[in-house]
Amino acid sequence: MTAGPAKPPLAAIFGCAGRRLGASERAFFRAADPAGFILFARNVESPPQVRALIEDLRDSTGRPDALVLVDQEGGRVARLKPPHWRAAPAAGRFGMLAGRDIGLARRATWLNTRLLADDLAALGINVDCLPVLDLRVPGAHDIVGDRSYGADADTVAVLGEAACEGLIEGGVLPVIKHIPGHGRAMADSHHELPAVAADRKALDVSDFEPFRRLARMPLAMTAHIVYEAIDPARPATTSSTVIGEIIRDSIGFDGLLMTDDLSMKALGGTFADRTAAALAAGCDVVLHCNGNRDEMEQVASAARPLDEPGLRRYLRAVATIRAPEPFDRQAALAELAGLFGGMEGV
């Protein structure tokens, strides 16, 4: 296992404002010492620029293996775009292929995420916030939509597992999201707090099942959703009941649990309130994405260094990162195109 840091890092992952790290921002990160960073399109110009930014971010913490995340799902959620990076298909395309042949869909999913990992590892990014293990539920808000592999738990679990394996073999950690399941939401948690009325039994055999089958993965991201049958007062992110009874016990996830973005309007209160509530509920790390300095200072003021279980999970996740296996990119691209029968956008 990788040797532990001299002191536990802050239980927070931060975004940064732009394409280069300013002196003031660098000083803030050095003082705060967050567990990691997350990149968005505003931080991206070219491969050399992204590599330099990541080196500066890690240097600000003094930890060369600090987690650096990105949401590179494919489809409409992709922070790295052409011409420098491949436009990957949305998860729903692989779900459509699964309707014809689950074995071919599994292979295609693996090839796709192995290609994604090839792009990310070359930049120094070691975490990709995928797979989305939420089910695609008819009539639900389209915030999930084609980001999901499908409507049934088995397809989502099988393809989600292939996605994780492709990333890990390429030297990048997956994040299973949005635990314990966002698919039934009738609202977009970026803008308001969704509530799910389904009973516990229905959730257990459907929404929760893909997460249960991939509970061995090193990282997971919470859903900002109220599950009325479990905790009608608090969303999963700030609910000790959902985190303790469902995520940790029923699903069996013992990896590093991060919040979804604290900036999302599903959560109320100040950023210090949101941070304290999420950590008190059992999240290991809070995620703040937009690079707003005032908000990050509130988060840092309310966060604490990783506690003993969180540090154990963090170190275990870091130790999971491995050097990429040998990989023929051109052969993978050709095989993936063949599996989709020449469909565009592969």
The answer for 95, left when phi > 0, alpha when psi is -120 to 50, beta otherwise, is alpha
Query: Between the CA of residue 284 and those of 35, 260, 310, 336, what are the distances in Å?
Result: 10, 12, 5, 37
In terms of Cα–Cα distance, which of 114, 120, 121, 94 is closest to 106? 94
Those residues with Cβ within 8 angstroms of residue 39's Cβ, 6 or more apart along the chain or in another chain: 15, 16, 50, 53, 54, 68, 69, 70, 79, 125
Residues paired with 177 in a beta bridge: 132, 221
Contact of 179 with 126, CB cutoff 8 Å? no
Name the CA dihedral angle for 307, 311, 313, 319, rounded to a multiple of 10 degrees.
Answer: 180
Catalytic residue among 154, 190, 199, 249: 190
> Is 182 annotated as catalytic?
no
- Please give the Cα distance from 141 to 179 (Å, whole number): 17
- Please give the Cα distance from 257 to 175 (Å, whole number): 9
Catalytic residue among 33, 134, 146, 260: 260
Report, in angstroms and rounded to the nearest whole number, the Rg of the chain calculated over CA atoms. 19
- Please give the Cα distance from 69 to 71 (Å, whole number): 7
Q: What is the DSSP letter of 18?
A: S
In the block, residue with structure tokens 């099942």: 209
Active site residues: 190, 260
